[in-house]
Structure 1
């Protein structure tokens, strides 16, 4: 299928990796439906008024809003080929500090918003027996060794788990699923608009405050990853005949993943004598 015939549906498209992806796809001749909470922000950020671009105001927490946006995409372009669940935000605070409401809101967007999209995109993909779903997680969805990011990591671990199961479920219908685990890329993810902090911080959590300061003051603006290269990699994976289920992005993500794998293997080996002696005799 030529690029001009391929249709992408992307959430969280008004900034960050989502915005870079939309712009590269439009420049490459693809048709793109893109969502954001604020339609004006999205239109101004993309700056494209062509027939190939469909901007959509969507509330990912509202299932009807998601359903209507996918229906509008199919009505406009005739079908959907690639779905990218990119929308999400960071949350930095210890598990004790973050309220139930703050924690649940992070899951609402990062996990249940993704599920809403999957639930309403799958009928179209199943009917055509083709398609590709990308779910954007994080290296924090593979390693939780980040003080203050427990809830955020929990949401991204959930995205990894549901993506692996979805890949197994969707395979029979000719649908590919790839979960993307980026490292640090130079976007606005660590700014106040994309990173939540607890309303009531606890003074004793010095490691969490140190992590917060490091991310907001030191890492923000100095991330090693190039977002344009990241989205180019995603577009290449979408064109692959046999795409991966798991895609780490960035040298830092690969390094942290390798470290986690080696650490886990060492720990398993250390306790294998006890942990494997649990079968019925």
Structure 2
């Protein structure tokens, strides 16, 4: 059977990086967009770019701090009302900050945990409320290759949140397996964005444009889960899962 076309797509964390990149990719496919992030000025600029390049596309924007959980539910409902419905929600907003555990930076690790997991949980709740009412929709969570194993140093909390998010998505997917609702976990490899601008050379890294194209293609297929880019991560990720910790220490 032909795959459902998701006409109205909501993306969180859309003001920069992969969120903005995916917005460009889906606009090029003729999809209407509901974009939210903390930085409204960047969203306004992005909307001008998208509607200027793709005049047939509707682009709604809303300022949203995903740590304001009540605001997530209000914003998602507002987008659904304005566009008529939401077909796909991409839970993308996240943080990459952190510090080695026990080094006095609980504040940074807590902020990462609250943004990457608790706020993501709220986004999943808000999206699934809409989809359950519609009995249709596609929930996409942007996890990470980092969630496959524990992370070292500043990545310890980040990796844990992404592991939790992947597990959460799997549970939701099992809950709605007998419905028209689809749930996809995307596990990107190392894609160079503002999130990791200060990092050194990353393993198998790709630029943001390449990563965004690969993300959009993977999302459109609506698999249960996908590594992005597919090459080399479809081969590397299974090895990464089983590699001895002493080997991983050399690369992380």
**What is the TM-score of this pair, normalised by structure 1?**
0.76
Query: Does structure 1 retain, via aligned residues, the 8 Å contact 2:187–2:227?
Result: yes
Equivalent residue for 2:209?
228
Change (3 A) 1:238 1:218: closer
Q: Tell me the equivalent position of 1:163.
A: 169
Higher Rg of the two aligned structures: 1
Q: Tell me the equivalent position of 1:115.
A: 121
SS of residue in 2 equivalent to 1:48: helix
Match of 1:9 in 2: 10
In structure 2, the CA distance between the partners of 1:124 and 1:98, relative to structure 1 (3 Å rule), is same
Q: Which runs of 4+ in 1 moved over 6 A?
A: none
Q: How does 1:1-281 map to 2 (within 5 A)?
A: 6-46=7-47, 47-49=49-51, 52-191=58-197, 216=198, 218-219=200-201, 224-240=205-221, 243-250=222-229, 251=231, 253-263=233-243
CA contact (8 A) 1:139 1:257 kept: yes
Contact 1:184 1:252 in 2 (8 A): no
Separation in 2 of the partners of 1:91 and 1:254? 27
Q: What is the CA deviation profile of residues 138-166 of structure 1, one whole-angstrom value per residue up to 9, with x for unaligned ones? A: 11111225443111111111111101111
Aligned-pair distance for 1:256?
4.1
Q: Could you tell me whether the CA contact under 8 Å between 2:99 and 2:108 is conserved in 1?
A: no
Measured in 2, the distance between the counterparts of 1:25 and 1:122 equals 21
Structure 1 residue 252: Cα displacement: 5.0
With normalisation by structure 2, the TM-score equals 0.84
Instruction: Tell whether the 8 Å contact from 1:181 to 1:253 is kept in structure 2 after alignment.
Output: no
Structure 1 residues without counterparts, runs of 5 or longer: 192-215, 265-281
